[in-house]
Structure 1
Amino acid sequence: MFNKVLVAEDLDSISITVGQALEELSVSEIHHAKYCDDAFLKVKKALLNDAPYDLLISDLSFKTDHRENQLNSGDELIAAVKKLQPTIKIVVFSIEDKSFRIKSLFNDLGIDAFVAKGRNSIPELIKAIQGVFNKKTNIISTELSHALRDKSLIEIEAYDISLLKSLSKGLILDEIALEFKNSGIIPNGSSSIEKRINKLKIFFKANNNVHLIAIAKDLGLV
């Protein structure tokens, strides 16, 4: 079993419960962090001391308070940790249930397992940790197993996500075109953007832009 594990979770009750699950698995060294910045610094320090973490268990959402942080979400933490220590194993433990976001965690951030918080989540978490230790990948909670099989979002590209986010901010065509141009996003012509929006409306069966954004939010795209 893993020897050294870091739990990034801002709720004490959940952090304690996860710690107890790790103790059941005979993990010898368990550390906790309530802030993403603190978790990242722990990973960095462990590497410098030549005693790296084997596994990171992280939530995705962290409540903001008076403290300013560089990393404000589990997604940002995972991306930073993976860049620093590419070989570390990562299990996400979250209430997230949006197919696209879960897929992106596996495809873009390279996590090893996703466990949904719920009534039966601790046995699922233990099972996932054991699976990751045994070199299994793409492990996901039973209740969310459809997320990785869902092919309805396969055609959605990063460009479409940027476009949907711009629309969700209330930007009109010319404003989106300017934003894309300034960000180096191609194509950035008003005509091309309009055609892409129409394609997305057809793809999602949306009646108008407002309906399109509502669907995108439900899917966790924006």
Structure 2
Amino acid sequence: MFTKVLIVDDIDFNDAGAVQVLKNLGIPQVDYSKYCDDALLKIKKAQKDNEPFELLISDLSFKEDHRVEKLKSGEELIAVVKELFPQIKIIAFSIEDKSYPIKSLFEKYTIDGYVIKGRHTMAELKKAIETVAETNEKYISPELAHLLRDNTINEIDDYDIQLIKYLSIGITQENMESTLANAGIKPNSKSTIEKHINKLKIYFKANNTTHLVAIAKDLGLV
């Protein structure tokens, strides 16, 4: 079992519940932070003092307040921590239930677990911690388990996401070529754009680009 854990969440109620779960598991050192910048500083200091955190539990979204933060989301914090301290285990802890953002956390940052906030949050958090600590396997809330088995999203790359984002803000397919060229995005030929948009329509069974954007929003792609 872990001996030193950091919780990053800006909601007191969630902090209290998560801390109690960790105490029940017999974890001796539990620290927490309401800001991602503060969390990163704590992780760096602990590493420098040769008393590193073994597990990071982080929410994904944080409300802005009077403080100016460099790291504005849990995803940004996770990205930095994984780059600097890849040995730290990470469990994301959020209300986000869209497939693309969740799957990206596992694929881009190789997080170790994902717990969706809901009625059974604390019980699932306990199970996630036990799974990650004792079996070294990935954990995801049962209602989201299908996401890791869904290969559709694997076919979508960053270029496709950019196209959908431009479509979602009103850039027409006809104007996409010049938009990509002005943004310095390549390839930006008309034929390539048509090929990718047609591929997306087929993957998501969209009737047109408007329908495609709607489906993409439902999946959390944009």
Common fold by TM > 0.5: yes
Task: Please tell me whether the aligned partners of residues 152 and 203 of structure 2 are also in contact (alpha carbons under 8 angstroms).
Answer: no
Task: Please tell me whether the aligned partners of residues 4 and 30 of structure 1 are also in contact (alpha carbons under 8 angstroms).
Answer: yes
Secondary structure in structure 2 of the residue aligned to 1:66: coil
Is 1:8 matched with 2:8?
yes
| Structure 1 residues 179-214: Cα deviation after superposition (integer angstroms, max 9, x where no partner) | 544665432223311231122122212222221111
CA positional deviation for 1:66? 2.3
Matches within 5 A, 1:66-77: 66-77=66-77
Deviates most, 67-76 or 183-192: 183-192
Count of residues paired in the alignment: 222
CA positional deviation for 1:55? 0.3
Q: Which residue of 2 aligns with 1:49?
A: 49
Task: Please tell me whether the aligned partners of residues 124 and 141 of structure 2 are also in contact (alpha carbons under 8 angstroms).
Answer: yes
Task: Please tell me whether the aligned partners of residues 99 and 150 of structure 1 are also in contact (alpha carbons under 8 angstroms).
Answer: no
With over 3 angstroms needed to count, the CA separation of the structure-2 counterparts of 1:87 and 1:181, relative to structure 1, is farther
Q: Which residue of 2 aligns with 1:29?
A: 29
* Alpha-carbon separation, structure 2, partners of 1:39 and 1:190: 45
Secondary structure in structure 1 of the residue aligned to 2:64: coil
Task: Please tell me whether the aligned partners of residues 93 and 114 of structure 1 are also in contact (alpha carbons under 8 angstroms).
Answer: yes
Q: Which residue of 2 aligns with 1:138?
A: 138
Deviates most, 149-158 or 5-14: 149-158
Task: Please tell me whether the aligned partners of residues 9 and 59 of structure 1 are also in contact (alpha carbons under 8 angstroms).
Answer: yes
Secondary structure in structure 1 of the residue aligned to 2:152: coil
1:166 is aligned with what amino acid?
A: Y
Matches within 5 A, 1:143-182: 143-173=143-173, 176-181=176-181
Secondary structure in structure 2 of the residue aligned to 1:145: helix
Unaligned runs of 5+ in 1: none
1:160 is aligned with what amino acid?
A: D
1:219 is aligned with what amino acid?
A: L
* Alpha-carbon separation, structure 2, partners of 1:21 and 1:86: 25
Matches within 5 A, 1:175-190: 176-181=176-181, 185-190=185-190
1:18 is aligned with what amino acid?
A: A
Q: Which residue of 2 aligns with 1:126?
A: 126
CA positional deviation for 1:2? 0.9
With over 3 angstroms needed to count, the CA separation of the structure-2 counterparts of 1:179 and 1:6, relative to structure 1, is farther
* Alpha-carbon separation, structure 2, partners of 1:182 and 1:107: 30
Q: Which residue of 2 aligns with 1:87?
A: 87
Is 1:206 matched with 2:206?
yes
Unaligned runs of 5+ in 2: none
Structure-2-length-normalised TM-score:
0.93
| Structure 1 residues 13-44: Cα deviation after superposition (integer angstroms, max 9, x where no partner) | 00110001000011111111111111111111
With over 3 angstroms needed to count, the CA separation of the structure-2 counterparts of 1:175 and 1:79, relative to structure 1, is farther
With over 3 angstroms needed to count, the CA separation of the structure-2 counterparts of 1:8 and 1:161, relative to structure 1, is same
1:35 is aligned with what amino acid?
A: Y
Q: Provide the identity percentage.
A: 55
